[in-house]
Structure 1
Amino acid sequence: MGRRRHTVLAAAVTVVCAVTLLGAPGTAFARALPDPAPSASPAPSPSPSVTLAPDKDLQAVRAKLEELYHDAAVATDAYNLAKEKAEKQSAEITDLNRKIADEQRKLDGLKDRAGAAARAQYRTGGLPPEVQLMLGNDPQDFFDGAGRVLQGQRATKGLIEETTRTQQDLKLYADDAADRWQKLEAGRKAKAAAKKRIKERIKEAEQLEATLEKRQRERLAELERQAADQAQSAWLGTGILDELNGKASAAGKKAVEFATAQLGKPYEWGAEGPRTYDCSGLTSQAWSAAGNPVPRTSQQQWRQLKRVDIKDMRPGDLVIYFGDASHVGMYVGDGTIVHAPRPGRTVTLAGAGSMPILGVVRPDAD
């Protein structure tokens, strides 16, 4: 019975690895271990246990998980950017609506004034000044009246010009608001698409991890740590720490203090604290707390902040990772960063060289 159990479990691992690796060409899949050689005396039935898949297969699982979580990180950046734009556009539309309401009230007032002028002219019969002179008894009354007429004409002309300008401004504001509504709607669709992709990738990763037994997950985590340690050791092996001598600025110290105070808090995509964070949510909130706001996403941080050479890196600087700038951590010194890694993890310290570095940016550049 024990031998049969052993063989079934081993075969199950084989099926799990074969399914999760999606039939990648050139990938070595797990095989059931060969039956033990017969012994002279029958051995007692072994207690049930899980046969671990070979490391090469778990490495393939690890690579697939990294791909899924990286894709989720890219989608998270897109979601955060769309959200930020939507909030800005909503505020702009609110401001435009206020301006439209103000201009409409102004236009209504001008129309009331124009109506009053028209009614006054109607009461005087609408006679031109020279006719009023011939019909009048006192020339001086005429000249006084003519002066008032000229003033009225100038006022009427100014009223017409102001009304025209107000109508033009009102149209511009209305057109601008309509354009911003279209952009806002497009941004909402982009945000919804990014949100859907995030959830799909995280769900796929969680389902993949769920196919592993506890001991396999522990071994997988160990392989991840080993890979990060090897990358960090290779980075430190370049002698980079010997070149790093930058001291944190006052604002940089505050940013580091804020970021490290969040250690142990869960990662959550799209989160900016105070209970959960994603990678750029942590760095942007840290620098906001230091009195120096920075862009919300890692990609915008990479594009907009001043870039510095790695050897000039100092605590508080942001280290941008991967070729698409999809991850960010904050350098805290001694070759270490603080960052929010990915779903299922918490804010933690890690080697600055444990992931592929794209570059370094400085939020408080002189």
Structure 2
Amino acid sequence: MNKQIGQRLPVDRLKQFVIDLFLAAGVPQNDATTIADAMIAQEVRGNTTHGIRSVDMNLRGLVAGRIKPKPDHIFLSDHGMTAVLDGDHGVGIVGCMKGMRHAIKKAQSGAKAKEGSGGGGIGMVIVVRNNHSLAATPYTLEATKAGMIGITFSNTKGSMGYPGTNARAIGNTPIGFGIPTACGDPILYDACLTTSGGNLRQWIREGQQIPVSLQGLDPDGHPTTDPQLVLEGGTPLPIGGHKGAGLAILVEILTGVLGGAAFLSQITPRGQKDPTDKNNAVSHCCLAIDIKAFMPISQFEARMMEFIADLKDNPLADGTDQIRIPGERMAQTKREWETNGIPLESDVQQKLTEWAQKLGVIFPA
């Protein structure tokens, strides 16, 4: 079964439509634009499980009162190269983007203060009491636009197994990084440490099995590649077994634990969140590294091109046509869809049409 594709929409028209939906839901203009930019950044690169499809999830949360349209984003701490930002149960994209932009500002200040010394140039912001932030790409991309290396990761509700238990004991810990290059397309790595719920649902819609290397457990604890069994009562397993589980622990500590917020079983499932509860939502860590604190950006970008060429100059494995760098496929999709329009999956288009009718917004023809 293949994806059912509906209408193709130009990038600018789809972006304005998303802005209009969130404005109609009570979100301020600047925040609505941030949300649309992040969703388009995902969708136009082919990351359709964590792009425009997330409009429905966020609007449902706003209408139900689980997500605040106008959160009070305040810094719980802010000194040196670090800060903790309260997401205040707003739209997760907005809180996480504010966190990354503040990390970039801190990294710039550090680079200026320590110019020539090789120190400084790093900013780290933990965003607490926040909501789903899509994926890492919109935030790491923001750092690369500023000539920086960006790293972002999040904790989540229990959605992944852990060695020694079949329970969903720890989050799937989305993690990503972005690195600028001289060719204009940054390296963009964006992944969970297991199969995400979005990917499981996508495989179900398409009638696909989980790749064997990512198999999970069924409700009885037996290995399976059936996404339905893993999603409904089963357990996704960490990539690399104990190795992926160890990385998940690091993410939990650098988000919820270090940020003084919820972690592991303390995180409330999305549909049960209470915005009056001060400690039940997900956290993110945003890191920005100013390359200029180490070397001129032009020198770094040239070295990155040398690095990429070196990696690609290896013999190809059987059945492989090229060696790809993280983000390379996304860049190719972006160029194509910016020219030809973004193809909406039929079920996503149906949801968008329904929300347009509910909120009095015109769906772009």
TM-score (norm: length of structure 1): 0.19
Question: Highest Rg: 1 or 2?
Answer: 1
Higher helix share: 1
Higher strand proportion: 2
**Higher RCO (C-alpha 8 Å, min separation 6):** 2
Report the TM-score, using the length of structure 2 for normalisation: 0.19
